[in-house]
Amino acid sequence: MKQLTKAEEEVMQQLWTLEKCNVASIIDELPTPKPAYNTVSTIVRILEDKGFVGHEKEGRGYLYFPLIKKSDYSNQSINKLVDGYFQGSFKSMVSFFMKKNDMSLSELESVLNEIKKSDASAKTNKKTK
């Protein structure tokens, strides 16, 4: 999966939120100052070329929609970050963020408990299917 530029990620964030929309709707959701219509339209076409976005005809225009799930892109981006800056070690990454953000042990335990709950829930769902 290709990496996106900051501008491309901004547009993708709106597409993941809106699910299916035209260029004008994307612009409406972007922060001020709003980019030009042609700028966003060009970014959407680039995203289509990269395989992130699809479109369907609606009247005289198009509706755009994501082809890549946000969770899939997030996972790939995090893995690239861990590989590039932490030599593939999630432990090193967590340690780094704990130190840089003055995270307490109780906060870390809370995060671990949330992960355990999520993991247990996922296992339960797999068994019931």
pTM: 0.75
The pLDDT of residue 37? 98
List the chain residues with pLDDT less than 50: none
pLDDT digits (tens, 9 = 90+) for 102-115: 888 888 889 888 88
- Max Cα-Cα span within the chain: 57
Using CA atoms, how far apart are residues 3 and 44, in angstroms rounded to an integer? 15
* For residue 33, cis peptide bond before it (omega within 30 degrees of 0): yes
Task: Give the CATH fold of the 6-66 domain.
Answer: Arc Repressor Mutant, subunit A (1.10.10)
